[in-house]
Each structure stands twice: as structure tokens, then as C-alpha cells.
Amino acid sequence: MEIDNYIQVNNIINYLLAEHGLLKHYDAAFIEVHNSNMSKLDVNGNVLRGQDNKILKSVTYFKPNLYKILGY
């Protein structure tokens, strides 16, 4: 995939966020979801996997709280 395709996808996402009034919350929501994803790692920064190779959640995992970002 060429970079112009990635940019086009980004433009579509930004348009949808703007249409739904969410563009102003994007940066904070991105950070919240990213930090939640990173909290799946163990205390040493390693990915935990089950026998089926599925990524497991560590004891440090937290679910992203997008309600606080959106003001609900």
C-alpha cells in the first residue's frame, strides 16, 4: 500500500470524527487507548501469551475510560 492510501484512510477517519463532533477528543482518546494497550504488558514490558498464542492481559491492565474523555 502506498503512503497516499494511508493518508486517504486518515482523511476519512478525520472526516468521520469531525462529523460526529469527536475530532477535538481524538488526541486524548488515542493516548488513553494506547496506554490501555501498553498496560497489557507485564512489569518487564513483555507480551504475555496463552497456549493459543492469544495476547493475555497482565495484572497491570486497565480498560480505557473514554467516558471521562467525552465528558459522560
Domain boundaries, the chain: 24-72
**pLDDT at res. 37:** 95
**Residues for the chain: how many in total?**
72
Report the distance separating Cα 41 and Cα 7, nearest Å. Answer: 30
One digit per residue, the tens of pLDDT, for the chain of length 72 reads 699 999 999 999 999 999 999 999 999 999 999 999 999 999 899 999 999 999 999 999 999 999 999 998
Q: Which residues pair with 18 in a beta bridge?
A: none
Q: Which residues pair with 49 in a beta bridge?
A: 55
For residue 23, the 8-state DSSP code is G
Q: Taking the model in full, what pTM does it have?
A: 0.80
Strand, helix or coil at 49? strand
